Chain A
Amino acid sequence: MELPIYFPLGLGALLFGIGLWGALTRTNAVRILMFIELMLNGVNLNLMTFTRYYYPENATGPILTLFVMTVAAAEASIGLAIILQIVRNRGTVEVDKVDLLKG
């Protein structure tokens, strides 16, 4: 590949940065879940870049990415179930309104 390695690595870092920005500014719980997925996607991009550039014959990188995707899917399903339960009990998805334990 003639593309220098810091191009895809920089794209992964930017994707992670945009996800971090969104997760810190937005208060909608479903949207925060989306930003967590975006950040995990940036991490996957980094993993695949290093795999392609330095260990192209090693199957460990794709397998690690596969496990990251598994955890992301499990986290999304559990997170959405918890959010639906919060909506049913409180009638809101804004995370700063769910503050019953706040002192």
Chain B
Amino acid sequence: MTAQYLSFGVLALVTLWSAYKVVTARLITHAALWMALSFTSVSGIFLMLQQEFIAALQVLIYAGAITTMIIFAIMLSSIREIRVEPQQQTFGQRIRASGLLAVVVGLVFAAFMTYVYYVSEIPKEAVPDPGLLTVRQVGATLFTRFTVPFEVASILLLLAMIGAIILTAKETE
């Protein structure tokens, strides 16, 4: 079925292009908005994989909460006004600053993983006729088999909240 290939191709292109723009965008607020677009299209791929619950969480947590929090932190502080002055540098310094090594590391890693997936022994076809995983099943498993990790995760969130408040509170005598 070509519609599947087509929709996956469009979503993958949007994801990769916006992730690339996160790296290369000059303004940090633009980078945050490109990051939100990347998260949204990954949520579309989750929908293609028939994981509605995770797709909704992706939009809520990543595209909603984390992007908003980063933009708030940029806007409410003086990060926005800090400018990087261009400085004179030699050719070797520019090569190092342009991050050629980092590009090579990132892309070699991605190419290596794709190669490993391609040649590995894993079956390439999906399990036929999957029963749809409903939110009810996920919730039932979460509150029976994974109760303790769930509580640990909530304690982690509570500690993160307290830590963020303590770290950003102004010290008063």
Chain A residues engaging chain B, CB cutoff 8 angstroms? 1-11, 13-22, 24-26, 28, 30-31, 33-35, 37-38, 41, 44-45, 48-49, 51-60, 62-63, 65-67, 69-78, 80-85, 87-88, 91-94
Contact = CB atoms under 8 A, between A and B. Distances in A.
Nearest to A13: B113
A69 B131 contact: no
A69 B62 contact: yes
10 contacts: A5-B126, A14-B16, A17-B113, A18-B23, A30-B70, A37-B62, A53-B127, A73-B65, A77-B161, A88-B77
Contacts of B39: 41
Contacts of A63: 138, 141-142, 146
Contacts of B32: 34
Nearest to B134: A59
B128 to A, nearest CB: 10
Nearest to A24: B102
A88 B76 CA distance: 12
Contact of B8 (A8, A26, A37): A8
Interface of B: 1, 4-5, 8, 12, 15-16, 19-20, 22-23, 28, 31-32, 35, 38-39, 42, 45-46, 48-51, 53-54, 57-58, 61-62, 65-66, 69-70, 73-74, 77-79, 82, 84, 98-99, 101-103, 105-107, 109-111, 113-114, 117-118, 122-127, 130-131, 133, 137-138, 140-142, 146, 149, 153, 156-157, 159-161, 163-164, 167-168
A14 B19 CA distance: 10
A77 to B, nearest CB: 5
A99 B87 CA distance: 20
Given A18-B106, A25-B102, 7 more contacts: A17-B110, A20-B106, A45-B45, A63-B138, A63-B141, A73-B65, A93-B82
A54 to B, nearest CB: 6
* A-B complex: 5 closest residue pairs judged by Cβ atoms: A17-B110, A25-B99, A56-B130, A21-B106, A24-B102
B79 A30 contact: yes
Contacts of A33: 70
A34 B130 contact: no
Describe B's contact surface by its main secondary structure.
helix
Given A8-B45, A34-B70, A71 B130 contact: no
A17 B106 contact: yes
